[in-house]
Structure formats: C-alpha cells, structure tokens
Amino acid sequence: MAVYTDVNEAQLSRFLQDYDVGSVLSYKGIAEGSENSNFLLHAERGSFILTLYEKRVDQSDLPFFLCLMQHLARRGVICPLPVQRRDGELIGELAGRPAAIITFLEGMWMRHPTVAQCGEVGRSLAQLHLAGADFPMHRANALAVEGWRLLWNGSRDRADEVSPGLAAEVEAEFTDIETRWPNDLPRGIIHADLFPDNVFFLGDRLSGLIDFYFACDDFYAYDVATCLNAWCFETDFSFNPAKAAALLTGYEAVRPLSDREKAALPLLARGSALRFMLTRLYDWLTIPDGASVQKRDPLEYVAKLRFHRDVTSPSTYGLS
Amino acid sequence: MAVYTDVNEAQLSRFLQDYDVGSVLSYKGIAEGSENSNFLLHAERGSFILTLYEKRVDQSDLPFFLCLMQHLARRGVICPLPVQRRDGELIGELAGRPAAIITFLEGMWMRHPTVAQCGEVGRSLAQLHLAGADFPMHRANALAVEGWRLLWNGSRDRADEVSPGLAAEVEAEFTDIETRWPNDLPRGIIHADLFPDNVFFLGDRLSGLIDFYFACDDFYAYDVATCLNAWCFETDFSFNPAKAAALLTGYEAVRPLSDREKAALPLLARGSALRFMLTRLYDWLTIPDGASVQKRDPLEYVAKLRFHRDVTSPSTYGLS
C-alpha cells in the first residue's frame, strides 16, 4: 500500500504544465510499491504512472534510475519510458518531493507464474543485461555482501525470536558466503529485484518489466540467481525444476552463461536468498503490526537458502 | 487505503467471462474508499472500477446500492453505471466476496473546492433527489438519530480523552437534537455521504458523483445539511458563507426548499455534524495508530456542531 503524500488537483495541473501530456483527466493513488507514492494518471494523451519519491529513496540516485529506463526502453526492453519535460528534464517537483511521470504499461503480474512465463522472464532478463551493457552511468549495489552485514547487525540479536537457532545459522552462512563470494564474474547493469510483482504479462506474453529502483551494477549471474529464488519456488517453498530450467533456457537463448557463471549459481542463489531474508527479517522485527507496509515472511527465504546450500551442481537448476 | 483482498489474474479472468467488457489489460488496487477493496480495471472495452465488498458492508444492501446507481445513471445523474453480467445480474463473486464492476468516471476530487464548484454540487444533489424519487427500493438510514446513540454508547466513556468536557457537551446535544428532530420533512433517496472525495470535477464542470454505499431514505434537507458541513467550511473550520450561498442557490435552482425545510436546516446541520463527529470519534478511539485506515479529527465536527448551535436563522446560510 503506498500513498504517503496526497496531491491536489491544482498542484498536479501546475506540475503537468511542464509536460506535453495534455490535461489531467483523473489520478488515483495505487496500492503498489512500498517505497514511493504512486498514482495512475489518466491524461489527454494517455495513461501514465506518476511517482513521488519519498525519503527512503536517495534523490541523487534518481537520474540513474530514470536515465536507465529511458536507455533500456530505447533499446527495445519493454519497460516504462520516463516522459521528458519540455525542458528535457526527467525529474520535476510535486508537493515538495522529486516526481516523475513514466508511461503506463498494461499487463498483470502473476501470483502463480507458469513454466512458460518463467521462460519469458529469463529471456527478458538477458535482454535487459545486454541492453544495459553500454549504459554510461553506474550505481554500486547497496545491498551487496557488505550491505547485508549492516542489515544483519540491526536484526541479529532478535533473530531467534523469529526462529530458534536462526542467528547461529545465519552467522555460519555469512562466514561461508563472504569467504567464497566471487569477484570476477561478468558484470553490468542488473535489475536486482525482478520479482513476479515487477513483471507484467498479457496471457503468456511478457508485457512489461517495472520498478528499476534497485537497479545497480553487479554480476549478471546474481540477477539470474535472484530470479531463480523469486520465480522457481512454489508457495510451499518447494523448488520447481521445470520452472528453473525454463528460466535458464530462456536466459541462455539470449545470453549464454559462461561455465564459471554456472558453477557460481548455487552460491549466488544462497547469497541472494540471504539478502532477501535479511530485509524481510529487518522489516519483520521493526515494522509495527497493522502498519500499512506489508510484512513478508523471512522464513520463506531461510528455506530457499537451505535448499541452495545443499545444491552440489548447477545441473540441479536444469543446466547442462 | 483500501485493498483488503488480493485478486489473481486467473480469478479475475474467470470472473470477467460473465461480463461483456473484453479481456483484462491491467488492474491496480487503488488507495480510495475505506470499506471495500477497489481496483481500477483496464479492459478491452474501457476503464472500470472493480469492487470487492468486504465484511463491513451488509451484503443484503448491495442490490439497493447497485440498482440505485443504475436507476440514477439512466435518469441522467452523472454517476457510475454498474455493468450487467450476461445473465443480467449486477453482482458476481470474486475471491469469495460479492463483487461488481461499475464504469470508471474521469475527474478529480477537490481538496479545496471553489464557490463555483459548491454551486455545482448543490445543483447535482438536487438532481439526484429528483431522479431518485421514483426509485422503488428503500433502505433505512442506519446512521439516523437512533443509530447515533449506539455509536455514542461505544465512545462516551472515553470522549473526554479527545477533548475535556466533550462527553457532557455531546450529551446535551443529544437531548436537544433528539427532542426537536423533525419527523415530517420531504424525504426520499439521499446520498448521505456527499463529501468532496465523492465528487469529481474536470475544471469547474462536475464530472461524477460516486460512492453510494451510504445512500438511504431520509430527509432531503438532511442531505443538504451534510453538504453544508462537508463543502462550506475552510480548513481552519471557519464557515464560508459564499460557498453555502452558492450550494443552496444551486440546489434551489433545481429543487426549491420549502420554508419548513429551510427553518430546519440549522438543526439538521447540527445533527449531521454530530453524526460525523461520532463516527470519527469512534474510529479515533478504536483504530490503532499506524493502521492503514485513515483517522480523521473528530474535533473538526465538534467545531461545526458549535457553529450551527449558534445559528438562529437560515439566512446565515445565505437563504432568503
């Protein structure tokens, strides 16, 4: 649920005078995204998403996110295109916050993705990686291994409240993952948060990738590992090898993985599971019950972490 | 903020097979309305609001609300038109809840309405009253004088926490209002909740009346009194006579008020202020801080109540 800042019609009309989208017809706060205030805007020249960037987003990162969407859209990635103001800028100000308009993409996110849809996600992820290769801006991954430590420091003392023994298990994971984490895999722009709610479909056709607000520079294979976790487990936390094989086959049809990337997948998937477990754990322990931000179960990612820990060969994921 | 029930694409597609709106293109949970789950639905044949009726709405009332919208829309009131299923029904079932689709109305609600817009509201309210006169269904006002008592019983003991002396002041109001409440003014279908967030404008043109989920049978002049409270006070709680005069002139251009209705306005406005103060007070005392339901200040309506208590003649509202 996400509308932290209300906007009145006079503010919005003034804001839109800098854009070439025509008059406002309507705008509705939408209950998606957890960091910013988002509105579905109907204007004379089409439908758009209006985003007001709230405090949790570092404003100095906004040009990176918006220029990246523009770059990717121009190279054929199906993602929202930021609308330029008449002066060429992508970012304006609305209700005292930085704000932007991006094109609205039709499509629905899949609560229960199919094998075919996992294949489409793999293919699109690889296209995104290739299309981003010549993007000139850079952004370090704030939630890379070092960032995980900071999150963990804020949760460790209470981790056993969520599951007895969790603190010791995670400590052991940290030691192992930090020691063995690769440093020389192919890298570039990654999405870093390509969960089902950020991918739209119309039937089995992928119609949009959204929410680039975690995008950064990191290993391509780490992005693949995050997708394995996000798309290839069932609601009972069991691994679905058919979905993983489809996702990886789709990816490799566009950008083949090197042998070193394949060999690193189990470790990267463990790391990615740890990263999402840590943000969920932190939210679980710090967000009050009944708040408007949805809390997700950290134990789902503990289960995925354990699964990958036992994987001895990338063939488990359907790779040859 | 209001999405209590998530819907997946398969459920929605199945639900829409009973309607003639074409395939789903997208649906977004919207952060408006506080009783039900609402989605803005883009389908091949247009934009719609999809509503899932949650527990707080009495299901036996749904035919009244939906048939009323259909009745009013057919008589030229600019309100959403419920979309009929192929079998003629207005209500289906989705995710285990009764659900309906109504047409989407473009327009924005005014956080700071103008005098001209208050005139438009008055005119539209009178049109609604006339158009509803031959509606064959009936619904008692659950939040009429007797209903206020029930709310008050749940809050009285803690009222002074909100403002010292409030309990005694409200008790005195009850005694006075209950004794003097009229029983023979012209009555029929009223909206009963025509606040600014339920009225859309495109510029100064009124483009939609929405949210008929409090509609019921009661005095027309009580609906007018509720609008005086909702539209004709400023954010500092001061009364704006120009807005009141515009609202009443607009109303009377379509449906003139009788002398008895005019004379009753100060008392009806006090009663309406008491009714909204009581629901706000109840929410204020019972909803936990940080919950997703917005809590509104009950003292705003205490101030309005006091204003009307001192009104000795309807001329204060700009009536001759």
Shortest Cα–Cα distance, B222 to chain A (Å):
29
CB contact under 8 A, B31 and A31: yes
| For range A115-126, the mean pLDDT | 98
Greatest Cα-to-Cα distance within chain A, rounded to the nearest angstrom: 60
Most B CBs within 10 Å, among A13, A26, A283, to test the B interface: A26
CB contact under 8 A, B1 and A6: no
Question: Which chain B residues are within 8 Å of A10, Cβ to Cβ?
Answer: 112
Q: Which of A106, A111, A291 sits opposite B26 (nearest CB)?
A: A106
List, for residues A63-104, the tens digit of each pLDDT value.
Answer: 999 999 999 999 999 999 999 999 999 999 999 999 999 999
Between A145-153 and A166-180, two packed helices, what is the crossing angle to 10 degrees?
160
Please give the class, per CATH, of domain A9-104.
alpha beta
CB contact under 8 A, A9 and B111: yes
What is residue B1's predicted lDDT score, i.e. its pLDDT?
41
Shortest Cα–Cα distance, A291 to chain B (Å):
5
- Contact of B2 with chain A, judged by CB distance below 8 Å, is answered with yes
ipTM of this predicted complex? 0.87
Q: What gap in Å lies between CA A227 and CA A113, rounded to an integer?
A: 12
| B271, B273, B275, B280 alpha-carbon torsion, rounded to 10° | -170
Shortest Cα–Cα distance, B283 to chain A (Å):
15
Best CA proximity match to B286, nearest among B152, B154, B163, B167: B154
Q: Which of A10, A29, A201 sits opposite B31 (nearest CB)?
A: A29
Most A CBs within 10 Å, among B7, B13, B30, B286, to test the A interface: B30
Q: Searching chain B, which residue's CA lies closest to the CA of residue A13?
A: B203
The alpha carbon of residue B74 and the mean position of all alpha carbons in its chain are separated, in whole angstroms, by: 20
Q: What percent of chain A has pLDDT over 90?
A: 84
| For range A266-283, the mean pLDDT | 95
List, for residues A125-156, the tens digit of each pLDDT value.
Answer: 999 999 999 999 999 998 888 889 888 998 99
Please give the class, per CATH, of domain B109-317.
alpha beta
DSSP annotation of A159: H
Between B259-286 and B298-309, two packed helices, what is the crossing angle to 10 degrees?
150
Shortest Cα–Cα distance, B250 to chain A (Å):
23
- Contact of A103 with chain B, judged by CB distance below 8 Å, is answered with no
Q: Searching chain A, which residue's CA lies closest to the CA of residue B109?
A: A9
CB contact under 8 A, A26 and B108: yes
Between B115-131 and B220-231, two packed helices, what is the crossing angle to 10 degrees?
160
Q: Which of A1, A26, A290 sits opposite B290 (nearest CB)?
A: A290
Q: List, for chain B, all residue ranges whose pLDDT scores fall below the cut of 50.
A: 1
Question: Which chain B residues are within 8 Å of A27, Cβ to Cβ?
Answer: 108
What is residue B294's predicted lDDT score, i.e. its pLDDT?
67
Best CA proximity match to B211, nearest among B39, B80, B75: B80
Question: Which chain A residues are within 8 Å of B111, Cβ to Cβ?
Answer: 6, 8-9
Q: What gap in Å lies between CA B119 and CA B93, rounded to an integer?
A: 39
- Given a cut of 90, whether residue A258 has pLDDT beyond it is yes
What is residue A1's predicted lDDT score, i.e. its pLDDT?
41
Tell which A residues from 183 to 222 touch B, by Cβ distance under 8 Å. Answer: 200-202
- Contact of A293 with chain B, judged by CB distance below 8 Å, is answered with no
Count CB atoms within 10 A of the CB of residue A93. Answer: 12
Shortest Cα–Cα distance, A217 to chain B (Å):
30
Q: Which two tokens stand for residue A317?
A: 């994921």
Q: Which of B10, B47, B110 sits opposite A9 (nearest CB)?
A: B110
| DSSP symbols for A85-147 | PTTS-S-EEETTEEEEEEE----EE-SS--HHHHHHHHHHHHHHHHHTTT-----B-TTSHHH
CB contact under 8 A, A3 and B27: no
Q: Domain spans of chain A?
A: 9-104, 109-317
Indicate the residue type of A122: G
Q: Where are the beta strands (DSSP E) in B126-181?
A: none
Q: Which of A2, A107, A111 sits opposite B26 (nearest CB)?
A: A107
Contact yes or no for B26/A108 (Cβ under 8 A) = yes
List, for residues B159-195, the tens digit of each pLDDT value.
Answer: 999 999 999 999 999 999 999 999 999 999 999 999 9
Q: What gap in Å lies between CA B130 and CA B134, rounded to an integer?
A: 8
Q: Searching chain B, which residue's CA lies closest to the CA of residue A105?
A: B26
Q: What gap in Å lies between CA B129 and CA B189, rounded to an integer?
A: 6
- Contact of A28 with chain B, judged by CB distance below 8 Å, is answered with yes
Q: Which of B2, B9, B200 sits opposite A110 (nearest CB)?
A: B9
- Contact of A34 with chain B, judged by CB distance below 8 Å, is answered with no
Q: What gap in Å lies between CA A221 and CA A264, rounded to an integer?
A: 8
Q: Please state the φ and ψ torsions of residue A232, each to the nearest 5 degrees.
A: -115, 20
